[in-house]
């Protein structure tokens, strides 16, 4: 089942999306995030969706403005594709290969849940950046609270999936990570999710013998394909990622776990590392990025102008006076 959050006639609604694009609104529901919390897992969400199919249909998806499918409680973005790590490491540090420590655990960072954009939304240039990049990912959405989960338990905590674009200001990211922290402002301006939330049961037929979802991934810029990969090239499953995210803490309904960027052109930085030059060029205002994930949908965004950064002083070299 596919769910959409959308705006129509100045109202926010949530609907089930049929294959032909017809929307079946859920009566009285204006937030998929709230619905996910209230239904407490996949069975409850599917039951709510089935009820919507028993009422008159709404508008076609082409006649509404799609919103991000949910406003995440938090966003953990993992890095689970070896090929991506190899390419970006070569681009940023000029070093070949994958660090051995990368294989020890599915590493992630927290990104900004307050900068979420949806399908067809304009993406502003990050203030002070001239090297903007996209990143093709899939996001798993948590539907039930859990703590210290096993991968087997985590399976029932994932309610669905969406396309995930981790917009990255590579110049800001490279500078700030030299401090040993981050990324921060290099990833802070925008994350795009959409166009729909596809429930986890819909993708089970794509699961391979090793537990990975074998889905085709494609990235285009201005109509030209720049990347193709398979989601099953991840080194950890979403269930393993969820288990790791819950270690010593909680995952809660509405948390989003990004797969990390796929390989073979899943972002420009990887291609720059392979080619030794910035080809294709960094994204600029007017460029349109189209990310397609088999079984989930197509997420389209166009880059727009940003604002100038507010000037701040450099850090003061302070004395070491003591009280």
Reference 245, options 84, 237, 208, 81; nearest CA is 237
The pLDDT value given to residue 177: 87
The pLDDT value given to residue 222: 98
Query: Is the pLDDT score of 73 beyond 80?
Result: yes
pLDDT tens digits, one per residue of 206-216:
999 999 999 99
Q: What is the DSSP letter of 287?
A: -
Query: Is the pLDDT score of 205 beyond 80?
Result: yes
CATH assignment of 75-304? 3.90.850.10
Reference 8, options 70, 77, 65, 90; nearest CA is 65
The pLDDT value given to residue 299: 98
Residue partners of 249: CB distance under 8 A and separation at least 6:
147
Q: DSSP readout, 25-85? A: EPTT---HHHHHHHHTSHHHHHHHHHHHTTS----BGGGSEE--S---S-EEEE---HHHH
**How many angstroms separate the Cα of 289 from the Cα of each of 24, 76, 126, 216?**
29, 22, 16, 17
With bands split at pLDDT 50, 70 and 90, how would you rate the model's confidence at 135?
very high
- CB atoms < 10 A from the CB of 23, how many? 21
With bands split at pLDDT 50, 70 and 90, how would you rate the model's confidence at 255?
very high
The pLDDT value given to residue 211: 96
pLDDT tens digits, one per residue of 147-162:
999 999 999 999 999 9
Query: Is the pLDDT score of 97 beyond 90?
Result: no
Go through the chain and tell me how many residues it has.
Answer: 323
Question: What pairs with residue 169 in β-bridges?
Answer: 132
């Amino acid at each position: 089942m596919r769910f959409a959050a959308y705006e129509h006639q100045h109202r926010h609604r949530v609907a089930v999306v049929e294959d032909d694009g017809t929307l079946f609104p859920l009566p009285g529901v204006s937030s998929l995030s709230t619905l996910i919390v209230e239904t407490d897992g996949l069975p409850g969400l599917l039951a709510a969706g089935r009820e919507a199919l028993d009422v008159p249909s709404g508008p076609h998806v082409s006649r509404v403005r799609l919103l991000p499918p949910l406003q995440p409680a938090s966003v953990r973005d993992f890095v689970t594709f070896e090929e991506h790590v190899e390419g970006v490491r070569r681009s940023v540090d000029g070093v070949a290969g994958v660090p051995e420590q990368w294989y020890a655990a599915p590493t992630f960072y927290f990104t900004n849940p307050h900068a979420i954009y949806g399908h067809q939304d304009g993406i502003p240039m990050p203030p002070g950046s001239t090297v903007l990049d996209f990143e093709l990912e899939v996001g798993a959405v948590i539907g039930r609270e859990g703590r210290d989960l096993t991968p087997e338990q985590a399976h029932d905590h994932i309610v669905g999936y969406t396309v995930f674009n981790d917009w990255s200001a590579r110049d800001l990211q490279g500078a700030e990570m030299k401090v040993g922290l981050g990324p921060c402002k290099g990833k802070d301006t925008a994350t795009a999710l959409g166009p729909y939330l596809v429930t986890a049961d819909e993708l089970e037929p794509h699961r391979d013998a090793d537990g990975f979802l074998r889905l085709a991934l494609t990235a285009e810029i201005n109509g030209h394909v720049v990347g193709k990969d398979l989601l099953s090239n991840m080194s950890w499953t979403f269930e393993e990622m969820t288990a790791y995210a819950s270690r010593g803490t909680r995952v809660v309904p509405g948390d989003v776990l990004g797969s990390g960027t796929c390989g073979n052109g899943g972002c420009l930085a990887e291609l720059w590392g392979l080619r030794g030059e910035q080809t294709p060029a960094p994204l600029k205002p007017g460029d349109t990025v189209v990310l397609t994930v088999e079984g989930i949908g197509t997420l389209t965004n166009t880059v727009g102008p940003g604002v100038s950064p507010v000037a701040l002083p450099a850090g003061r070299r302070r004395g070491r006076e003591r009280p």
